[in-house]
Structures are given as C-alpha cells and as structure tokens.
A = this chain, B = another copy of it.
Amino acid sequence: MTSLDRVITALAKLPGLGRKSAARLAYYLLRADLSYVRALAADLAALRECIRPCAICGAYTEAERCDICVDPSRDPDRVCVVEQPQDIATIEATGEFRGRYHVLMGVLSPLEGIGPEDLRIDRLLRRVREEGIREVIVATNATVEGEATALLLAKQLKDLEVAVSQLAHGLPVGSDLEYSDRLTVSRALRGRVRLD
C-alpha cells in the first residue's frame, strides 16, 4: 500500500466522503502548494493535543475554560443547552444570545445505547445550583432524540428555581406552507403567536 493509497483510505473514512471523493482530494493534495499540505498535516497532528473540552461548559477550547465562560460581559443568568460544541457557533451567529452555554455532548438515543448518564446533565444541574442560573434555554435539535432530551432536562430541572424554555418550533423563515411537512405545521399551529 503506497502512502497515496493510505491517504485515500483514511480520507474515505471521514463522514460524507466516499472512496471517489477521497481519491479526488488526495490527488488534489499531490498537486497543491507544498506548504499548504505540510501545514494541514501539522494542524491535524496538533488538533487533538491542543483542543480539549472547557472545564465548565464542555465547548472545545485550547485553554482550561473557553472564551465565552471567561467573558465577564456575558450574562451569567442564562444558559443555553446544546447537543454538540459546534451548535454554539450556530446560536452565536444569530447575535441574539448573550448568556453562556452548556454542551451535553450527545443526545438521548436508546438505539445507540446513550442514556442520561452519558450526557453532561449532572454538570448542568450542579451549575444551575452553584452559579445561580435563572433561565435554561434548551436548544437541542428538533428531532425525536432532541425532544426526548429536552423533556428529560425539563423534568430534572423542575425542582430547582430556574425557568426552562425551549427553542420555538415552526415554519422555517422563507418556507412555503404548501411544502412544509405535517409535523412542522402542527407545531407551528400549537405554538402560534398572537399578533393583536
């Protein structure tokens, strides 16, 4: 097996890449700028040495605590709970949320054998008690697993003095009612907002 074959085989294991796309990338790398390929290899080698979960929220960071957790300008009263570290960037992109985050590092999934004890729920409960958090906004995905996780969180947070909310479900902005699926329209109806 040549190093070309090894690179193709390794790239083909990445999500969303088949053998053909992996081969295309590998052949591209063979003709790409040498300093770029060297930097990519070095960055990949460094990735797992440098990046670790934030000791508080679980987001990826190079420090002990992530930038958001140590930022004194962020509202300490509100915590947004997400499934994965990458979800934080999606919420941040809206510019609508100035609180902090908590990463579950997964979602309830009986099929994959992921139960409540596999998620960072205990850490969330402890944070709510110790940090004096007043609102938990659950931003799990709008999937069956995400919904089940949101319900579980609501149940576990019930006895603590904290408001629990969830991202609204409804029609995506710019979508046609005609092409929306039944469940989405059903949730949009139930969550209707008064205009008067």
Contact = CB atoms under 8 A, between A and B. Distances in A.
Interface of A: 2-4, 6-7, 10-11, 13-16, 21, 23-30, 34, 36-48, 50-51, 60-62, 84-86, 89
A10 B40 contact: yes
Contacts of A4: 47, 50-51, 60, 62
Given A3-B50, A51-B4, A44 B60 contact: no
B48 A45 contact: no
Contacts of A46: 3
How many chain copies does the complex carry?
Answer: 2
Contacts of A84: 27
A19 B23 CA distance: 20
Given A4-B51, A48-B37, A62-B2, A85 B43 contact: no
Given A10-B43, A14-B29, 7 more contacts: A2-B50, A3-B62, A4-B51, A6-B39, A24-B86, A37-B47, A41-B45
25 contacts: A2-B50, A4-B47, A4-B50, A4-B51, A10-B40, A11-B40, A13-B36, A14-B25, A15-B28, A16-B24, A16-B25, A23-B86, A23-B89, A26-B47, A27-B60, A27-B85, A30-B47, A30-B48, A30-B51, A30-B60, A30-B85, A34-B48, A37-B44, A41-B42, A41-B47
B37 A7 contact: no
A43 to B, nearest CB: 5
Contacts of A40: 7, 10-11, 44
Contacts of A16: 21, 24-25
Contacts of A3: 43, 46-47, 50-51, 62
A34 B52 CA distance: 13
